[in-house]
Structure 1
């Protein structure tokens, strides 16, 4: 069985980012103090930095064709956007998609089939109709 993912409310995320900024401590040190993964905190720091650089959320939202509140939700609550929109946002931000939203890349990796059937029929159209 996979491990259960913890979720963090927006206030906790914002507080963790604020601690890193104001204390001068490293991300790893703050993450250890808060008992969270350092990579998770680094992602929150990155999303916060990108949100600040985008002059609010309006510019990014306009460039990728979504509502500014949608972008705000990605940043403040950690929601993952639809993959197509996430690819556009990553391109506009000039950031790696896997760095911004690791769950999208993990989902892609998980969905790739492996095994005998996929090796024999790599596409649906190559499989016999009676399968």
Structure 2
């Protein structure tokens, strides 16, 4: 995706509509791919927007946020990504905390130093149990 930094807010407006879509193809193309690439261009405004989206009750939106943090964009900003993933890892919906677990696995594999911090989190045991299965302690 070729997008200039100045157009990131407009692109995020367009992607927000897609973030609600429950279609498997749209979902897998939105968060892990399109959203991550757009956010990479302007991380400050992207994290601002993702924090707002995390509060939306729609599970597909929260899933897309979680999945965008485990790939290119999230791996480039691991500390800030962890702040959001820590919240998503505590989500009551399995669909969401599993997406957070998937992104955490990818982040820890890319940045092994994050492992100790992630494994110290409380009140998200289900999510961390999944992460521990795929990442050595």
TM > 0.5 between the two? no
- Please identify the structure whose Cα radius of gyration is greater: 1
The TM-score with structure 1 as length reference comes to 0.28
The TM-score with structure 2 as length reference comes to 0.28
Structure with greater proportional helix content:
2
RCO comparison, higher one (Cα < 8 Å, 6+): 2
